[in-house]
Amino acid sequence: MSAANDSSRVDSLRERGLPTARDEDWKYAPVRVLARRDWWALPTDALSFPDTAAIDAATLPVDAPRLVFAGGHAVPLSAGGFGALPAGVTLRPLPEAALASSAKTTLTDTPAARIELIAAATSPGGWELAVAAGVDAGSLQLCHLPAAGAGSLVLRLKLERGARLTLIESMAGSTSTNATLTRWIQAKLAENSVLTQISVQWLPTDVALLEQVDVTLARDATYHAFACTLGGQAAHTAARVTLEGVGANAHWNQLLRVAGTQHTDSHLTMTHAAPQTRSTQTVRALADGRGRGAFSGKVVMVEGAKGADSAQSIRNLLLCATAELDTRPQLEIHVDEVKASHGTTTGSLDEQALFYLRSRGIDEPEARRLLTQAFTAEVISRVPVPALRDWLTLRVLP
């Protein structure tokens, strides 16, 4: 067992447990459901890797090289290694000291840092995915599968100056009842680099998810995010995007869907820390059954971020009276001469539009399906992979 997986540190985290609803960032999280799971199980070397059928079932319909992780372990896809990588892209284990250092950041053991501490302390070993300077790596798919019981993945993304990558992440599949998945993704974008990150979470309802995403952008770097949350029994996701360099751009697009008894909570903090930076947030959430979803989007403009520009649009669609959606747009501005706007709406399907479609011979279930798909189209249409747009359109309904 590595230093990062020291049992005393894990025992200490287990004693502290997860944050509660009294913690502001976890106010709308499914804390009762999450607290019943064991997030602190240490990894085992006796891992039974998923078979080819399970991997194929968790793969999205995109034409791209594929890497597979199960419970944080890289899964060999051939006798020669973990899978093909685009030219200029490397995958290597994080040095043990680097992972141990991440797990020892107890001085910052706040509720906001709990996910990364759990991930680092219980991961079987972190990974670094790097794109060399000036390389357009095209597309790469990462499949994240839960292992039996608990599983944690720590992944660092590093884009050198002028590098470009489209990373398509899939979270799917389950090997046992009450499986858990913890993910900590850290991305560092150098000057003029471009990262497009498409994340599709379609875990079955026997899986719970804790997820932390940290992205830092240097001068004139660009980050396009497409987060599609469709599955899982209970999930809490936190993302922190920091625009550190002059002229950096970040665009966050999210589709959040809950149904049945699903409960998903998502937090985003977008920090403008340099002049002439720009960010957008476009979120579409829909809920059916007794599903509950929450999204908190915060924009922070610090001193020195003169000329920053941010726009936020959050819209919620309730498909029945028993569903619930909570949204919290927030602005925190510490500098003059900036632009910032936000807006949120919550409603049900337009009865007039529904009546119009039915008057044209379309039955009610089909009319509701068409209107629901139209509601989500603004986000789905922006996904830069046509085959994936079609796939999401067919699966957007509960």
pTM, 2 dp? 0.92
Lowest mean pLDDT among 138-152, 188-202, 269-283, 325-339: 138-152
Sheet holding 89-93, edge to edge: 89-93, 127-131, 152-159, 179-189, 207-217, 234-243, 263-272, 292-301, 324-333
86 lies in a domain? yes
Q: Assign 238 a pLDDT band (cuts: 50, 70, 90).
A: very high
Distance, in Å, from the CA atom of 41 to the CA atom of 180, rounded to the nearest integer, reads 10
pLDDT digits (tens, 9 = 90+) for 54-100: 788 888 999 888 898 887 888 877 544 566 788 899 999 987 666 65
Distance, in Å, from the CA atom of 305 to the CA atom of 8, rounded to the nearest integer, reads 42
pLDDT digits (tens, 9 = 90+) for 332-376: 999 988 999 988 898 988 888 888 888 888 888 888 888 988 899
Contacts of 336 (CB under 8 A, 6+ apart): 306
362 lies in a domain? no
Contacts of 353 (CB under 8 A, 6+ apart): 371
369 lies in a domain? no
pLDDT digits (tens, 9 = 90+) for 280-337: 999 999 999 999 999 999 999 999 999 999 999 999 999 999 999 999 999 999 998 8
DSSP 356: H
Distance, in Å, from the CA atom of 315 to the CA atom of 282, rounded to the nearest integer, reads 8
105 lies in a domain? yes
| 304 touches 335 (CB < 8 A) | yes
Other CB atoms within 10 Å distance of the CB of residue 221: 27
364 lies in a domain? no
359 lies in a domain? no
249 lies in a domain? yes
Split into its structural domains, the chain has a count of: 1
Q: Which domain holds residue 217?
A: 3-350
395 lies in a domain? no
